[in-house]
């Protein structure tokens, strides 16, 4: 919701009415950052859910909070400059892969171990 609100504020600030997605470069970066975060959210929630149920809730929670923090930093960096998104993007990607590993380990343990 925070990211969507930032897009609304940027639309007002730069006078860009929906459904336009182009205009001032700062608006375009904010819009793209919000869209990118929205695209990854279903993947994140699914992995978080599976890792939390089948691996360990505490570990999944820590990974989830770190992922949300890195996405917040990604949004902030992208809003300033396109290059500002890269460090947090790589960190959030590593966290997603960690959640994949935890989910797979939990599923294997659940279904293969007696």
Residues recognised as catalytic: 12, 85
Residues making up the chain, counted from first to last: 114
- Is there a contact between 34 and 7 (Cβ–Cβ < 8 Å)? yes
How many degrees, rounded to 5, is the angle at CA 58 between CA 55 and CA 64?
90
Q: Which uninterrupted H or E stretch holds 2?
A: helix 2-14
- Is there a contact between 89 and 75 (Cβ–Cβ < 8 Å)? no
């Amino acid at each position: 919701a925070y990211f969507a609100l930032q897009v609304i504020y940027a639309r007002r600030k730069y006078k860009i009415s929906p459904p336009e997605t182009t205009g001032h470069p700062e608006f375009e970066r904010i819009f793209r950052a919000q869209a990118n975060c929205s695209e990854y959210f279903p993947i994140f929630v699914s992995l978080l859910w599976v890792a939390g149920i089948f691996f360990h809730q505490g570990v999944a929670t820590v990974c989830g909070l770190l992922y949300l923090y890195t996405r917040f930093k990604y949004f902030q960096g992208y809003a300033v400059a396109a290059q500002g998104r890269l460090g947090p993007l790589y960190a959030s990607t590593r966290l997603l892969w960690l959640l994949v590993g935890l989910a797979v380990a939990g599923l294997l343990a659940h279904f293969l171990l007696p």
